[in-house]
Amino acid sequence: MSGAAFDTIAALVRSRAGIVLGADKAYMLDTRLGGLMRAEGFGNLDSLAAKLRSPGTERLAAAVTEALTTNESFFFRDGKPFDHLRRVLPRLISARGAGAKLRVLSAACSTGQEAYSVAMVAESLGLLSRIEVVGTDLSVEVVRRAREGVYSQFEVQRGLPVQMLVKHFKQEGGQWRISEAMRAVARFETGNLLADLRHLGRFDVVFCRNVLIYFDAPTKTRVLSALAERLAPDGVLYLGGAETVLGLTDRFTVIEGERGVYAPVGSPKQALAV
């Protein structure tokens, strides 16, 4: 692959998704784009890049971007945020009053494990009827899979306690389908974190984990500011283990002793002490 081809593809993915592909990632283009190139009749990355430089290639550009996303996810990933959520949900629900539903955003939700983990936590607290989870992701394919809620044996073995598997999944052939009760509270849609997020409404809890790591600092700041606008003043933001707000935004404050858990600046004291 020529340097020009790499530059074209890297610039495309950066402008469409915010994803920064360093030159050290050039090796992965062949693997990640191989299937798409064969399906679209491109013999190599140079011819694909040349096509992308011509007008009228929106569909191809979207497919290339999607193929270069990393969609790794698993149930109850990192554990701690879900322990924190278990403590914070009752407080938030009582603050909202009878009848109100708590809204949870799983931003960059991938194949839905994070959103369904939230639903399982709410169910274990007897609060399933009091929450609504919205999952969004740039990738059409992962959103389709999240909606379907069907996971392989390997996927359910990663992070999901066996009691939860037995309680909330049904075996279908060699796969596991999540229960209708969990699907009923989780809704999934395609969405780009770089786009306007206002149509999603306000959330009480935002998960935005393991996606900021792919962005440069200005993009991280932009996404964190957009999420701050979507979060209730006493709400909670969860980031991934390798992510932080420090040095990027003054809209969130670190919750002491809780790795990866943040509150909006000016949040009432009780929001921080759970």
Ligand X SMILES: C[S@@+](CC[C@H](N)C(=O)[O-])C[C@H]1O[C@@H](n2cnc3c(N)ncnc32)[C@H](O)[C@@H]1O
Comparing CB distances to ligand X, the nearer of 70 and 153 is 70
Distance from C-alpha of 256 to C-alpha of 95, rounded to nearest angstrom:
22
Comparing CB distances to ligand X, the nearer of 42 and 74 is 74
Three-state DSSP string of 168-183: HEEEECCEEEECHHHH
Residues at the site binding ligand X, with contacts judged by CB under 6 A: 17-19, 69-73, 77, 108-110, 114, 137-139, 142, 192-194, 209-211, 214, 240
Question: Least distance (Å) from ligand X to the CB of residue 219?
Answer: 8
Question: Least distance (Å) from ligand X to the CB of residue 71?
Answer: 4
Comparing CB distances to ligand X, the nearer of 4 and 72 is 72
Task: Write the DSSP string, 201-264.
Answer: --EEEEEE-SSGGGS-HHHHHHHHHHHHHHEEEEEEEEE-TT---TTT-SSEEEPTT-TTEEEE
Question: Least distance (Å) from ligand X to the CB of residue 239?
Answer: 9
Question: Distance between terminal CA atoms of the chain?
Answer: 53
Question: Least distance (Å) from ligand X to the CB of residue 161?
Answer: 17
Distance from C-alpha of 244 to C-alpha of 193, rounded to nearest angstrom:
17
Comparing CB distances to ligand X, the nearer of 134 and 142 is 142
Distance from C-alpha of 115 to C-alpha of 107, rounded to nearest angstrom:
9
Mention every residue, 6+ apart, whose C-beta is less than 8 A from residue 62.
16
Comparing CB distances to ligand X, the nearer of 69 and 244 is 69
Question: Least distance (Å) from ligand X to the CB of residue 31?
Answer: 17
